[in-house]
Chains A and B, each alone.
Chain A
Amino acid sequence: MREVAAVDPLRSLAREAGSGEGEATRRLIEAVAPSVLRLARMVLGPARDDAEDVAQESLLGFVGALAGFRGECSVLHYACRITVRTAVAARKRQQEHSQQAEAYAQASFAGDDRLPAELPLAARRREIVRGLLDELPGAQAETLALRVILGCSLQEVADATGVPVNTVRSRVRLAKESLRRRIEDDPNLRELLEVAG
């Protein structure tokens, strides 16, 4: 968890916004919107142009969930968790309804033909993670996104998804198994990782 502060400056604002205070809601949204939008863009990737819509959907979900916020993490981290889940769900929806996105995801893991060779290594890794989110089952994809993109610990993922830690550990293991198969089946990707190592 990267954004946790010792004393959460947004806690009182979130309390007021949770009780329906309009001005507090606006200030809270203005405070978390940059991180939410940035996170939505990271999960969705540069190829998607619906990051603002996903960010808005995430903020609406965040405001609606303020009443159930128990203060187990910082307010900003709470908003980011909701954003990751919303963005992963948006990717899943887009994959289901768009044949083009599915073909793009398959091509990404087939041989990186669609990925520009001049892309930095980090950007290629991020794109591989996004493609993996499209292929994994919903719960595994959400767990992987929370852990890799948002940097949540196992316990934080368990709190965010409402499942035991052992369930999170099992989902992480299954996601890694899929990732390992992808790496072994793709010589270009294996070479890329060896070069990076």
Chain B
Amino acid sequence: MTRVDLHPDELLDPGRLHRLEPEERARLDNHLAGCAACAFELAAAQDFARAAEAGRPEDDPAVARVVEKTMSALGSRVGEAGPVVRRVGGMRWSRRVLLVAAILAMTAAAGAASWYFVLRPLLQRLETSRPPPATCTDAGARETDAVLQQVSPAPAPLPRRGPSALRAPPAPPVETEAPPPSLPVEAVPPPPPPHHPRNPEQVEPPPPVSPVAPGTPSESLLRANELRRGGQFAEAATLYRELQERFPGSRE
């Protein structure tokens, strides 16, 4: 680093030139004697200062032109000709009202959009995600009815659910065979009522668990399922096998 690289810039501040201490002034003069750049800067700064003092154009017509052009530009910037519009608190009332209205409109739009695009699909999804009621297929129901007609004269067909249940005609009554005429009616004991677990008056002690249930195929299937859930797999398997042998075409 040479001598001229260490410019005493603080001493060169024009505002300080007349306030330098004697030793500061001597140091500055010593530097200026060997640094043409600092000497030029100082001389040029004094030139500009003298020019600024000498050429005050207060009565220059260009000043009035500049003022008018500036005010006109300021008026066009705020959208109105003439002086700058007085504002209250930095913003005019009309703009405040417009701003509040815009905020309200945007809030309402955001609420409607959130209902339409978020909440409503969510509710629909929740409703559709409920487990559907148990239904049976038409083919399965018809097959079961046919089996019932063949195997046992059940008093009532299995209730059918689903759309075809509304359209399908009621099942024809099951024709029961007439008892043999040779037998006296009085001597014949009344047949035992069909097992109906939902009838509280006919609650009987449960029969012993037998792998071969004499009931309807549905009851047999329910029974086999109960046995399987209860851990009696051998008996359940026997029941399943028997049902398969009896109704090889049944889907159940």
| Residue positions of A touching B, CB distance < 8 A | 1-2, 19-23, 25-26, 29-30, 33-34, 36-39, 41-42, 51-52, 55-56, 59-60, 63, 122-123, 125-126, 128-129, 147-151, 153-154, 169, 172-173, 176-177, 179-180, 183-184, 190, 193, 196-197
Contacts and interface: CB of A to CB of B under 8 A. Distances in A.
A151 B60 contact: no
A60 B70 contact: yes
B7 A183 contact: no
B57 A125 contact: no
A180 B73 contact: no
B70 A122 contact: no
A122 B51 contact: yes
B110 interface: no
22 contacts: A2-B14, A2-B15, A21-B84, A22-B84, A25-B71, A25-B84, A33-B63, A36-B66, A37-B63, A38-B55, A42-B51, A52-B62, A52-B66, A63-B70, A122-B51, A147-B45, A151-B15, A154-B9, A154-B10, A173-B7, A180-B36, A193-B40
A45 to B, nearest CB: 11
Contact of A20 (B37, B70, B71, B84): B84
Nearest to A23: B83
B66 A126 contact: no
Interface string B58-71: 10101101110111
Contacts of B36: 180, 183-184, 190, 193
Nearest to A152: B13
A183 B39 CA distance: 11
B37 A29 contact: no
A172 B38 CA distance: 10
B45 A37 contact: no
A197 B49 CA distance: 19
Contacts of B43: 125, 196
Contact of A33 (B41, B67, B85): B67
A152 to B, nearest CB: 8
A184 B39 CA distance: 13
Given A20-B86, A22-B84, 15 more contacts: A2-B52, A20-B85, A33-B63, A38-B55, A51-B62, A60-B70, A60-B73, A126-B47, A126-B48, A128-B40, A149-B48, A153-B15, A154-B9, A177-B37, A183-B36
Nearest to B84: A22
Contacts, number: 139
Contact of A126 (B51, B56, B67, B83): B51
- Which 3 residue pairs are nearest across A and B when measured between Cβ atoms? A22-B83, A22-B84, A122-B47
B70 A56 contact: yes
A43 B102 CA distance: 47
B37 A151 contact: no
A42 B51 CA distance: 8
Contacts of B77: 60
A160 to B, nearest CB: 14
Contacts of A173: 5, 7
A21 B86 CA distance: 5
